[in-house]
Amino acid sequence: MGAVFRPKDLGRGGYRKIIEHSIRDLHPDTKDDVIRLLNSWEGTRSEERLKNMLGYDKAQEILKNINEKKRSRIMSI
């Protein structure tokens, strides 16, 4: 099972930069769709939609990058 994020967690502290860096090689329309999805995160349902949009590997990479950033931010507090 994947991680679940609140939309406000994704919008703060550099998460947008992580997301943009992770999806930089995608088509502009796809980038917009992914950012929209992440800004309105709904847990498992959104995770499945992300996997459908990007494929399993790319979706896991993005979620892993966000998790790492979140962990490092928590550890620094």
The whole domain housing 71 covers 7-75
Question: Is residue 29 in a domain?
Answer: yes
Residue tagged 């502009």 (tokens): 28
Higher pLDDT, 52 or 26: 52
Q: What is the pTM of this model?
A: 0.67
Number of compact structural domains in the chain: 1
Q: Is the pLDDT of residue 26 over 90?
A: no
Could you tell me the pLDDT band of residue 20, with boundaries at 50, 70 and 90?
A: confident
Could you tell me the pLDDT band of residue 52, with boundaries at 50, 70 and 90?
A: very high
Question: Is residue 44 in a domain?
Answer: yes
Higher pLDDT, 26 or 9: 26
pLDDT computed for residue 51 by the predictor: 92
Scored b (16 or more CB within 10 A) or e, 34-72 reads: beebbeebeeeebbeebbeebeeebbeebbeebeebbee
